Amino acid sequence: MIDALLAAEELPEEYRDRCQDILCNDCGKKGTYRFHWLYHKCGFCGSYNTRVIKTDTTSCFT
């Protein structure tokens, strides 16, 4: 359900190219993903039980 919500949502222009480093509280892995102000999905295990550890204001490479 969250995946469908995120797919349908369009971020404001100033946030579209930003990235965030997240830490998954379930699998313990870190990754860099596109910015979102509420939901952060782990790319390894698919969990949303994550936390932001860094937000980049520069362009995202993914």
The domain limits of the chain are 2-56
Residue 31: per-residue pLDDT = 95
- 27: buried, middle or exposed (CB in 10 Å: 19+, 13-18, 0-12)? middle
* Neighbour count for residue 48 (Cβ, 10 Å): 15
Q: How confident is the model at residue 60 (pLDDT cuts 50, 70, 90)?
A: confident
* pLDDT at residue number 61: 60
Q: Per-residue pLDDT tens for 14-59?
A: 888 889 999 999 999 999 998 888 889 999 999 999 999 998 767 7
- How is domain 2-56 classified at the architecture level of CATH? Single Sheet (2.20)
pLDDT of residue 28: 98
